[in-house]
Every structure is written in structure tokens, then in C-alpha cells.
Structure 1
Amino acid sequence: MKDLLGKAILDFQTNNNPQNIITETDISESEEMDINYLFRKYEEMPKIEQKALDLAKGKILDVGCGAGAHSLHLIKKGFDVKAIDISPNSIEACRLRGIQAAEVKDILDLKDETFDTILLLMNGTGIFGKLINTTKYLTHLKTLLNPGGQILIDSSDLIYMFDTDEDGGVWIPMENKDYYGELTFTVEYKGEIDNPFNWLYLDYNTLQNAAHANGFECDLIYEGDNCDYLAKLYI
């Protein structure tokens, strides 16, 4: 990976001629995103993210921290926060922003540490990549939880993006896919295009079933207006 999203984040943080990024998926056209959005403050965040931050407690792990907006808010509130991301540029930006415990790390490689709250926000199920990987990730996340700990994770049901026929049925092209929420993303920045990557959106019922199958309780905490939701997983 060229780490173009991370490059955009670092360019913004260092005022190095930052530009908007362009994202595209295999089921949607390209969209331009203002990189400033990733540096938003609590007051500018969607309700789902605000709710997750309000529920965070104890020692916190921010998975896929990006520019560190969630971590910074929690650190300012006095929490002990570890921020991880697979993007070296993003982690450099986080450190420049004052997040000392920021580390380039894949969640599956994090071991021998436990937390009271694990945050997976901005479509936290995305890191699973494909539906088949859900059990692998949930099993590993369980090893990172302290007794009484919680995982706060958000996602969206993408069923609304597909065509509905006269009988109310939904037409979903499933070529090379096991589930309609499996997307392939590409990111473009300053004329460069990064390698495509898999990104998973899970509807709540599917997440709940996977959670139960892996020994978690799963509560629906909040539903947004765009088929999005926040869930809490715990033992």
C-alpha cells in the first residue's frame, strides 16, 4: 500500500499542500472528501461517534485511529488511550498532535495487552475485510478485553444501495462475494491511486449473530438515519 490516506492526513497536519482525497468502491462512483473532516472535534462528529466516546471507560484502545480525533478527545478527558493504525503516516500525524501512545500496528498483531474499552469507529467492521474473517477478528478482540470490558463498534447496512423490484425484492450482484456488504475500496490522492483493499459493512443482525457465535453479548446502542448503528459487544 502507498498509504495515500495517511499521506493526506500527514500533509494536513504539517500544512504540506494538503488536498482532498477521492474514494471509490466497486458499487459506487467516486466521491471527494475534505481531509479536514478527519480532524473534526467532538462537537462536529456524528451522533454515533459522540455516543461511543461518551460510553468509553477505563483504559482505551482506539483501533484504526486515523488522524486521532477520537483519541485526542478522550485524552483531554483524562483517559489512558492507546491509538493504533496500520498507516505509518497517520501515526506520525497522531504523534505530532500529542498522542504519545500511538503505534503502527495491525490489531491482529497486538498481544499481551488488555483494555476496558476497544473502539472501532467510522465503520469499525471495515477492518474485517470480508465476512469470512469476522470470527478471526472477534476471537482476537476477546483476548484484548479486561473483565467487564466492552467493544464499541459501528457499521451500516448497505441494503439500501441496491435496486428493489416491484415485489419488494432486492437485486444484489454477488459475483465473487459472500455477502453484499463486502466492498473493494480505492483511494486517490494528488494524482496517485493506492492499491485496492477490502472493506466490510455489516448489518446489525449479522454482527449480532457473529458476536453470539463467538461468546459475546451484543447490544444495539444507537441507530442513525442512514442505516448506520453503534453496537456494544461484551462478555
Structure 2
Amino acid sequence: MQKNSLIKAMEPFGLALADYFLGKEVGDLFMNRDDGSKDKHPVEYYFRNPSDFSLFEKEALKLCKGKTLDIGAGVGPHSLELQKRGLKVHSIDISTHACDIMKERGLKNVECMSYYDFCDLHKENFDTILLLGRSIGFVENLNGLKKFLMHCKSQLNQNGNIIFDSSDLRVTTKPIHLAYQKKNQEEGSYLGEIRLQMEYKGLKGNYFKILHVDPDSLAKIVLESKMKYEIVMKEETGGGYLVRIFV
């Protein structure tokens, strides 16, 4: 494959995961923003052990109960821990490489598909719907978030929870990020809508959109959806937070 040709959005990420899992030489994994900003992500991070989980992750897993759907599960660090604790976990991801790795690591219920495709296929309800690693970003924008929450609402068993983390980008003071937010707003978009591209060993994926939602905007959408929420934890700096949403 030519290195200057674009491939599926998450394929570079999947290839990096596969190289690490198979013990091959691992290159640098980059996330490129459409304004030229570039961040390097260590591949080994996605294979971290429970002892290395953040406080957000540890608290989120404590809140999980019953039948759990792990969306954007990656290589399954959270699903594996929940399965070990005796919960019935369904793990989904759109990366075929990630799903193959989850199966190899011993997860029992793994499917390679989007959230909505999974729902159409299975028609199941859950006690917990979990999205960590800011996987909630897949909704792309505020309308997508409202659609997702309304869909989850119909999927939750009585006393069920939606648990995810996101980030309040308004706290930044970095000129490059402020300029990006300003450009979004001038174009009529929400400031937390981001366009990214994955890059690995010279291979670049198609651009895709993610959403980082601030707590105030989230609160408005949750209330419009006739649901309730609580901010479980907040970072002292950086804007990250963990939220639980319920009916």
C-alpha cells in the first residue's frame, strides 16, 4: 500500500495494536488534527493493566453492574477486568484488529461493529453502558450525543447507568487550541467538535470526527432527554470529568 494513500479511518490504530500484540516492531502512532496539530500516543498504553488504570477508570468500573455493554472497547482492558469480576460483558469496537485481540485475550462476547449496528442486530437491554477513553467522542457532535442518549435510554434496564468520560475544552489556555475553538464557532459548530486523522508507520487514515463535550452542554442535553446525571469525578486541571447518566 502506498504510504501517501488514505485508508480506513481507524486502520492505522488497528495496525499499531496488532504489531504490539504480536511482538513486532512498533512505530509511532500519531493523531493529527485538521489544523496541523499532531500528538504522539504510546501504543502500550492501550494494553495497560488494571493497576495502571486512572482514578477515573477505577471509579467507573466500580459503578458498573449487571449486564454491561463496553462501547469502543479497544483491546479490552476494561472488559477483561469486568469479566474477571463476574459481570456479563459485551465488548464492541469498529477495529477488526482490536476485536481479534480481545478474543485472543479471552473475552467471551466480542463483536466488530458500530453501536447502532449492534443494537439493530441484538435488540438487547443492559444494566450498564460504558464508554471510557473518551469513546463517547464517536457521536461526533451535540445532536449525535442527544441521539445516542435517547437510544441508550430505551436500552437501559431499570436502575441502569450510562457511564463515560469526556473533557471540557474551555479550560485550555493554549493559543493553538483557542484558535481551533474560535474557528469552529465562527463556522457555526460547537467548540468541542474535532477532526482527526490516525497515522502509523507512514500510513494515514481518512479524517473522522469526535466530540469533547463540556459539562454545561451535556447537562442541557441530558435534561432535554428527560434523564438525570451526576458528575462523579473531575480533574483538578485539564478539564476531564467522569459522568453517570440514568433515568
Please give the TM-score of this superposition, normalised by the length of structure 1.
0.92
Q: Could you say what secondary structure the match of 1:122 adopts?
A: coil
**Residue 200 (structure 2) pairs with residue 189 (structure 1):** yes
Q: What amino acid sits opposite 2:109 in the alignment?
A: A
How far did 1:215 drift?
Answer: 1.9
What is the aligned partner in structure 1 of residue 3 from structure 2? none
- Aligned residue for 1:45? 53
In structure 1, the partner of 2:79 is 71
Please report the RMSD computed on the Cα atoms of aligned residues, expressed in angstroms.
1.8
Give the aligned partner of residue 34 of structure 2: 26
Alignment-mate amino acid for residue 84 of structure 1:
I
Where do residues 99-110 of structure 1 align in structure 2 (5 Å cutoff)?
Answer: 99-110=107-118
- 1:124 correspondence with 2:132: no
For 1:177 and 1:43, the matched residues in 2 are separated by: 42
Q: Secondary structure at the match of 1:233?
A: strand
Q: Secondary structure at the match of 1:62?
A: strand
By relative contact order (CA 8 Å, sep 6+), the higher-ranking structure is 2
The number of residues matched between the two structures is 230
The one-letter amino acid of 1:161's match is T
The equivalent position to 1:173 in structure 2, one of 169, 183, 188, is 183
Partner SS for 1:153: strand
Deviations 1:86-143 (A, max 9, x none): 1111101111111121101211122211111110111132011122212211111112
Does structure 1 residue 88 correspond to structure 2 residue 99?
no
Structure 2 letter corresponding to 1:10: A
Partner deviation per Cα, 1:31-87 (whole Å, 9 max, x = no partner):
211100001112212111111011111111100001111111111111111100111
**One-letter identity of the residue aligned with 2:137:** G
Q: Deviations over 1:145-202 (max 9, x none)?
A: 11110000110001133568xxxxxx72224352100000111001101111000000
Q: What residue in structure 2 maps to residue 229 of structure 1? A: 241
> Normalised by the size of structure 2, how large is the TM-score?
0.87
- What does residue 15 of structure 1 align with? 23
Of stretches 192-201 and 174-183 in structure 1, the one that deviates more from structure 2 is 174-183
Structure 2 CA distance for partners of 1:7 and 1:179, relative to 1, 3 Å: same
User: Unaligned 5+ residue runs, structure 1?
Assistant: 165-170
CA distance, structure 2, for counterparts of residue 8 and residue 95 of structure 1 = 17
Distance 1:192 1:201 in 2: 26
Output the amino acid matched with 1:93: I
Decide which of 167, 180, 194 is 1:156's aligned counterpart: 167
What residue identity is the alignment partner of 2:112?
V
Counterpart secondary structure, 1:75: helix
Q: Residue 143 of structure 1 is aligned with which of 145, 151, 154?
A: 154
* Residue identity (%): 31
